[in-house]
Structure 1
Amino acid sequence: MLETLGKYAEADFESPQIYQLTSGVCLLVWDPPHQVNAAPRLEEQSSSSFGSIASVRLARLDGRSRIVWAFSLKEKSRLDLKLTAGAIGSEARLAVDVTQSIPMADAFAITSGLSQAACAVFVTTFLNAWSGMFRLSRSRRFVDFARELLRSVNDAPPVVEFVASVGRVHILETLLNSDSAELQTAVLIGDFGIQRLDSSTCNVSYNNGRNRLFLGSVELHQPPQNGFLVLAGAWGLAIRRIAVENAGRSLSTWWGTNSRKLPEVRDYLIAEIGKRSEETEAAVLNMQANEPLAARRHGSLAESTSFCSIETALSGEAGVLVGGWMRDPGKAYRGIDILSGTHAPIPLELMTFDGVLPETQGGYAIKRFVAFAPVGSSLRHNLQPRFELRLVSGERASLVPPPQPSDICEVRAKALSVATPRHVSDEVLSGCLSHILSEIQERFRHSVGAPKEITFGTVLTNPTVSIVIPLYKVFEFIKAQLAAFSTDSWLAENAEIVFVLDSPQQVTHVEDLLAGFHLLYGLPLRLVVMERNGGYALACNAGAEAARGRYLAMINSDVVPIEAGWLEQLCASLMMDEQIGAVGGKLLYADNAIQHAGLKFIQDDKGRWFNHHYYKGFPRQFPEASSSREVPGVTGACMVLAKEDFETVGGFTNDYIVGDYEDSDLCLKLRKLNRKICYIGDAELYHFERVSIRKNDDYTGGVASQYNRWLHQSRWEDDIVALMGAAALREEGSRA
């Protein structure tokens, strides 16, 4: 039903009346002498034909019917129209020359004498069906008639207020009657034309059920002046006059002063407004940061009482990673549900493991839990998803986590800390962490930005090989490394040196260091500076992209050659055999024990594959470690390969976190090109292993390494099994 019905105008349609709606569309209105229950018909008796035609039957207050046709003509001419209202003998004729002037449609006349329900049907048909059928949504005459039509059925509509804007996205709000629950259409009318509101709206119970609070959004260059909002459903029609005085407010400003902060409204803004653009995403994140929800736990922490807390709730495109802990000595808890917008609560499948609280919190035994809620992107931008705790008593208790971080680096660190390393099983990785970590890593990569470059001296224009050296916080080996490079005449003549700084906050210090070392050793140097810390793979790929050499020598910053000739020998191996995809040398610890003599894969008692090094810990002169041979892989600490092959396989795969398993992944990708991987035993270098990576907080927790191992195995297990089987056969043959 209509909320308010305006005054009726006098009209007489006992005989058909024709009106001009727009230059190409006419309206024909007729009141047959009885109620019409069958579909009416309109026929053209002359040679003219309709382009499009539609009709609607409307109930009059006196029980009779009014029929309104809308039609367009293929060409304007004289019309001979026959109207049939379904009953025998119930017909009328109308002859009219549409090339001559005909009166403009009168909305007040057409709605005169109609029931409230009929007015609602006509408005919704007119705005939703006919505007599209006759392509009139941008016609000024159509819009003017639409506004008159709305005034004819409600001459004093309440206000819908444009309350805030984010770029071109405008948010509007109004109150509805309590029975206006299910909305079918929401249409905005203004000088711009007619436009449907964006598909999802918020329509929730308000004021203890006495009203409903409606929020919607629309993308426009500016809010419309002299406009209307029309909402329709099975309950009837609601017409609202637009007010734009506060349209220019930011989302955070409006929300901060809003007295209607219902949880459903907050969820709507985050889920629906946040997904529109980078600008709207930033706006909803800022809104949440400015006005976070109060964290809510359940119970009290004591010897015999139950307690439950959700500490982590990280939302992504696929769902939400959830982590927390509970203490339930009385078995009062049945489960936890996540609330996802307007959908029913979704139960979490908890993976639990034993834990103990610190002594400062009582030292109680607890159950830690982790879960992944597959709710899709509905909570994608929500920093505080809401939960409900189901109790055995049948009651439900609200749970709200503390505000989650919005910075992607902090999000990744939070995800890596949701479970302790010793509890991160393959089941936890595949069932929970992998869903969110892969997305986080992708978002992280996109956040890194473009690097910049600084040069020291006149660099080689056409080097044979580019030495790419990633730097992260540890610079103590640069001097020794460059000193060794400077004594190698082949290297100085054929190689360019490209450092990649992955801790850009230290650029001033590194720039001073390299400027001094350039003067000291006379080697030209290039410094590629990442915009932000991106990890090993992104840094190496950035250095490789900047490289000019035919070959790439991927060298860690803590690798120092023992004597000259190492790089020439490794490059020569590639030049002499095009089937070789990558080569590496012997790496030694400071005490001359072997750290690396080729990379292989080993399997533990749980079937998990790990990277390992041949003859690790053996003495430098161990005979088998001195022979060059094909190996499953070589370490990225010292790897030389053709730049063309590197680019063909896409460089280092960059979905591993921080730095681990990228080198073996690259070797396995090169093998897909039918390339061999070889170890050269005569090229010796010192490697002060993992000095830089220990400076990375995300890595030192241990979960990143386990995730990388799981990801590597998930991707390459079949290849690894086949490769290690072949390697075992080669080793048996060499011993025989």
Structure 2
Amino acid sequence: MLETLGKYAEADFESPHYFQLTPEVLLLVWDPAHQVNAAPRLVEQGGQSFGSIASVRLNRLDGRSRVVWAVSLKEKTRLSLKLSAGAVGSEATLSVDAAKPGPAADAFAITNGLSQAACAVFVTTFLSAWSGMFRLGRSRSFVNFAKELLRSVNDAPPVVDAVASIGSVRLLETLINSDSTDIKTAVVIGDTGVLRLDSGTCNTPYNGGKSRLFLGAVDMPQPPANGFLVLSGSWGLAIRKLATDNVKRTVGAWWATNSRKLPEVRDYLVSDIGAKSDEARAAIRDLQVSDPLPARRHGSLSETGSFCAVETAVACEAGVLVGGWLRDPARVYQGLDILAGDAGPVALELHTFDGVLPETQGGYAIKRFVAFAPVGRALQHNLQPRFEVRLASGERELLVPPPQPGDIPDTRAKALSVVTPRHASDEVLATCLSNVLSDIQSRFRQSVGEPSEVLFGKPLADPTVSIVIPLYKVFEFIKAQLAAFSADSWLAENAEVIFVLDSPEQVTHVEDLLAGFHLLYGLPVRLVVMERNGGYALACNAGAEAARGRYLAMINSDVVPVEAGWLEQLCASLMMDEQVAAVGGKLLYADNAIQHAGLKFIQDDKGRWFNHHYYKGFPRQFPEASTSREVPGVTGACLVLSKADFETVGGFTTDFIVGDYEDSDLCLKLRKLNRKIYYLGDVELYHFERVSIRKNEDYTRGVASQYNRWLHQSRWQDDIVALMEAAERREKGLSA
């Protein structure tokens, strides 16, 4: 049905008529003598072919039918058309001289005498299907006809208000009948053309059988003057005149002054409008942070009382990571559901483990829980998803977590805190944390931005090797490194030095250091500055991308060579044997104990694989550690390989959190090229790991490290087993 019908024009289509819609498209209109129940046909009797053709059958008020064709022409020539409508005797002919402009399409005449449902069908077909099929959306004559068409069926439409904007995203609001809220298509038409909206909608109850309808329009840089919104569904058609007085108002300002702060509207803004663009996502995040929902828990803490709280609800593309705790001595809780919009309540499968509240909260024994709700993107941008706890009485109580962090690093920290390291089992990592952490890492990578570069001195014209050194807050070894590099004649003549600063807030301090050390040692230095902290892998990859050498030497910021010639030896081993993909040397602690003599994999009592270094803690001159040999891998603290191989395998994998397992992952990727990894026992460097590691002790004991281990193993389990079996056979052969 239509909400309002306009005035009709006189029309007579007993014999077919044609109209010129655009220079390339004709409209043919015919009222056959009988009701049309079969598909109508249109044939050009002279053999001319059409570019495209479409038709629609429409019911007249007197029970007969009207057929409208849209035809695009390949050639502008004289046409002899035969029209048929299925019934016996229902045929007509029409001559068209397409070389001459035809009469302009008359919307009032075409809709005259049609039923309300027929008008709705024609408008919907014309704007939604034919505009795209015949590429009419930007045609001025098409737009003019479309506006006349809307006026012909509703000459006094209600208003739809563009109430707020985020960039080119517009939030539209109007009233609509409560039984007309199931929207199938939504089209905006203005002077510049037709825009089909792919947004969802939100309805809230209003007075007098009406609903307040909200929908978002994306890619509308300038709301059209004299524009219309056309809504259609199984119920019929609704036409709205577009008002743009408030279009410059921000969503935040609109929400702050809006008295209808209903959960449905808030959820729509978060889930639908927030997904339209990066700018919209940021604005909706800020709205949630500035105007959070009050946190809501259930029950009261006491010896006999039951209590339940959701403290963590981190959403991603796949679903929501949920964490919280409960105390239920009376066993009143039957389950926990997440409210997922149109999908309704979704039951959570809880992983529980024992805990104790602080003494300030009573010191009660509790059950902590973690779960993953596979609800897809329904809550992707929601900082406060809502939950319901099911009670034994059959009642349901609402739970609302505190606002979740909006910043990505804080979101990642929140997700990692949902379970204690002791309870971060492989099952919990795989079923609960993996999807969320993978999504967070992906968004985190995208947020890092593009690095910049600062030069100190004149760089080498054609370096053989590029030394890439990531820097993060530890700068005390830069002087020792550059002093050793400058004293190495082969390195000074063949290598460029690239520091990558991953704590950009310290750029001024590092620039001052490098400028002074360049004057002191005369060694040219390049400083690549990350736009924001991205972690070890992203920093190394940025340095590798900037590198100009044939080889890459990945060196930690706390590694200092014992003597000159180390880099020349490592590069020579790659030059002499093309089967060798990467090499590393012996790394020593400050007390001359061995820190690294090759990397291998060992299993714990649960069969989980961990990275380990050969002969770690052994004396510097331990004979086996001084033997050059093939090894499963080498540490990223000193790893040399060709830039071509590095690029072939995609550089360091950036899925790991903070920095861990990237070096063994790189070595395993290189081995997939059917290549070898070698350790050189006579190349020695100091690695002051026990100094720098203090900045990451919390990390190495935490859930992030366990997640990285699980991720590494899930990808490389079979390769690691085969590799370690081969390494064991080699070691037995050497000892024999």
Answer yes or no: same fold by TM over 0.5: yes
Residues 373-522 of structure 1 correspond to what in structure 2 (within 5 A)? 373-522=373-522
Distance 1:133 1:724, change over 3 A: closer
Give matches, 1:540-619, under 5 Å: 540-619=540-619
Alignment match, 2:336: 336
| 2:29 corresponds to | 28
Residues 533/693 of structure 1: CA separation in 2 closer, same or farther (3 Å cut): farther
Deviates more, 1:668-677 or 1:74-83: 74-83
Offset, 1:427: 0.8
**Residues 698 and 704 of structure 1 are in contact (CA less than 8 Å); yes or no, is this contact kept in structure 2?**
no
Equivalent residue for 1:58?
A: 59
What residue is the counterpart of 1:281 in the other structure?
Answer: 281
Cα gap change, 1:443/1:138 in structure 2, threshold over 3 Å: closer, same or farther? closer
Q: Which moved more, 1:104-113 or 1:661-670?
A: 104-113
Distance 1:528 1:690, change over 3 A: farther
| Number of the residue aligned with 1:533 | 533
C-alpha distance in 1, partners of 2:126/2:640?
71
CA drift at 1:53:
5.7
Q: How big is the shift at 1:698?
A: 7.6
> Which residue in the other structure is 1:201 paired with?
200
Aligned residues: 728
The match for 1:300 is 300
Q: Which letter maps to 2:376?
A: G
Cα distance in 2 between the residues matched to 1:376 and 1:85: 48
How is 1:129-144 mapped onto 2 (pairs within 5 angstroms)?
129-132=129-132, 136-144=136-144
CA contact (8 A) 1:48 1:77 kept: no
Displacement, 1:697?
8.4
CA distance in 1, matches of 2:575, 2:143: 75
- Are the structure 2 counterparts of residues 577 and 58 from structure 1 closer, same or farther at C-alpha, using a change threshold of 3 Å? closer
CA contact (8 A) 1:693 1:699 kept: no
Which residue is 2:209 aligned to?
210
- Structure 2 matches for 1:662-673, cutoff 5 A? 662-673=662-673
Distance of aligned partners of 1:490 and 1:29 in 2 relative to their CA distance in 1, 3 Å threshold:
closer
- Verify the 8 A CA contact 1:417 1:701 in the aligned structure 2: no
More displaced 10-residue stretch of structure 1: 413-422 or 467-476: 467-476
- For 2:674, give the aligned amino acid: N
Q: Which residue of 2 aligns with 1:161?
A: 161
What is the CA–CA distance in structure 2 between the aligned matches of 1:40 and 1:128, rounded to whole Å?
20
How far apart, CA to CA, are the structure 2 residues paired with 1:73 and 1:592?
84
Shift of 1:30: 3.6
Distance of 1:148 and 1:492 partners within structure 2: 78
Separation of aligned partners in 1, 2:534 and 2:567: 27
Amino acid at match of 2:617: G
Residue 635 of structure 1 is matched in structure 2 by 635
Please name the residue that 1:702 is paired with. Answer: 702
- Looking at structure 2, the residues matched to 626 and 101 of structure 1 have their Cα atoms a distance apart, in angstroms, of 92
Distance verdict in 2 for CA 1:228–1:454, change over 3 Å: closer
CA deviations over 1:2-54 (Å, ceiling 9, x no partner) = 32344x4474649547363625424435485x8x3634857789759795462
Task: Give me the whole-angstrom Cα distance separating, in 1, the residues matched to 2:258 and 2:227.
Answer: 24
Distance 1:453 1:692, change over 3 A: farther
CA deviations over 1:356-382 (Å, ceiling 9, x no partner):
111112212222222222222333222
Q: Which residue of 1 aligns with 2:68?
A: 69
CA–CA distance in 1 between the matches of 2:380 and 2:544?
Answer: 34
Q: What percentage of aligned pairs have identical amino acids? A: 69
Which stretch has the larger CA shift, 210-219 or 40-49? 40-49
1:606–1:56 CA distance, 2 compared to 1 (3 A): same
CA contact (8 A) 2:56 2:122 kept: no
User: How big is the shift at 1:388?
Assistant: 2.5
Q: Is the contact between residue 658 and residue 698 of structure 1 (CA under 8 Å) also seen in structure 2?
A: no
User: Using the alignment, how far apart are the partners of 2:454 and 2:577 within structure 1?
Assistant: 35
Give the distance between the partners of 2:27 and 2:618, measured in 1 at CA. 95
Tell me the TM-score normalised to structure 1 length: 0.89
Provide closer, same or farther for how the CA distance between residues 669 and 309 of structure 1 changes in structure 2, counting only shifts above 3 A: same
The Cα shift of 1:611 comes to: 0.9
Aligned partner of 1:723 in structure 2 is: 723
Answer yes or no: is 1:236 the counterpart of 2:236.
yes
- Residues 433 and 334 (structure 1), Cα distance of their counterparts in 2 relative to 1, 3 Å cut: same
Cα deviation code 1:596-649 (max 9, x no counterpart): 222211111111001111222222232222222222222222223333333333
Indicate conservation of the 8 Å contact 2:32/2:85, yes or no: no
Q: Could you tell me how far apart the structure 2 residues matched to 1:409 and 1:208 are?
A: 45
Q: For the structure 1 residues 54 and 680, does the alpha-carbon distance in structure 2 shift closer, same or farther, using more than 3 Å as the test?
A: closer
**What is the DSSP-based 3-state SS (H/G/I as helix, E as strand, rest coil) of the residue aligned with 1:670?**
helix
C-alpha spacing 1:340/1:697, structure 2 compared with 1 (3 Å):
farther
Structure 1 residue runs of 5 or longer lacking an equivalent are: none
Q: Trace 1:94-173 onto structure 2 (pairs within 5 A).
A: 106-108=106-108, 110-112=110-112, 114-132=114-132, 136-173=136-173
**Residues 179 and 689 from structure 1, CA distance in 2 versus in 1: closer, same or farther, beyond 3 angstroms?**
same
C-alpha distance in 2, partners of 1:388/1:525? 59
User: Distance in 2 between the 1:390 and 1:615 partners?
Assistant: 56
Shift of 1:424: 0.8
Which amino acid in structure 1 is aligned with residue 55 of structure 2?
Answer: A
* Whole-angstrom distance in 2 between the partners of 1:12 and 1:488: 96
Q: Name the CA distance, whole Å, in 2 between partners of 1:73 and 1:627.
A: 80
Q: Is the CA contact 1:50–1:73 (under 8 Å) kept in the aligned structure 2?
A: no
Q: Which runs of 5+ in 2 are unaligned?
A: none
Q: What is the SS of the residue equivalent to 1:454?
A: strand
> CA offset at residue 435 of structure 1?
1.1
Per-residue deviation, 1:175: 1.1
Deviation at 1:67, TM superposition (A): 2.4
CA deviation after TM superposition for structure 1 residue 502, in Å: 1.7
Q: Secondary structure at the match of 2:553?
A: strand
**CA deviation profile, 1:103-142 (whole Å, cap 9, x unmatched):** 6555445555554444434443444455456554444444
1:213-362 equivalences under 5 Å are 213-218=212-217, 219-362=219-362
Question: Matched residue of 2:272: which SS?
Answer: helix
Counterpart mapping for 1:79-90 below 5 A? 86=87
After TM superposition, the structure 1 stretch with the greater mean CA deviation from structure 2, 574-583 or 371-380, is 574-583
Q: 1:48–1:79: 8 Å Cα contact kept in structure 2?
A: no
8 Å CA contact 1:50–1:71 kept in 2: the answer is no
What amino acid sits opposite 2:670 in the alignment?
L
Q: For the residues of structure 1 that align with 2:265 and 2:293, how far apart are their CA atoms? A: 13
Q: Secondary structure at the match of 1:187?
A: strand
C-alpha offsets along residues 177-225 of structure 1, whole Å, 9 cap, x if unaligned?
1111322332323223344322x32142413793222222333342122
Question: Structure 2 vs 1, CA of residues 145 and 514 (structure 1 numbering), >3 Å: closer, same or farther?
Answer: closer
Separation in 2, partners of 1:422, 1:403: 26
Give the letter for the 1:28 counterpart. V
1:59 Cα deviation after fit: 4.1
Which deviates more from structure 2 when the two are superposed, residues 139-148 or residues 294-303? 139-148
1:210-249 Cα deviation digits (max 9, x unpaired)? 3222222333342122232222222232222221111222
User: 1: CA distance between counterparts of 2:596 and 2:507?
Assistant: 31
Distance 1:211 1:467, change over 3 A: same
- Matched to 1:603, the amino acid is Q
Residue aligned with 1:500, SS: strand
Q: Which amino acid aligns with 1:625?
A: A
- More deviation in 461-470 or 422-431? 461-470
Cα distance change of structure 1 residues 215 and 701 upon mapping to structure 2, 3 Å threshold: farther
Alignment deviations for residues 365-419 of structure 1 (CA, whole Å, 9 cap, x no partner): 2222222222223332222222232223222222222222222222222222221
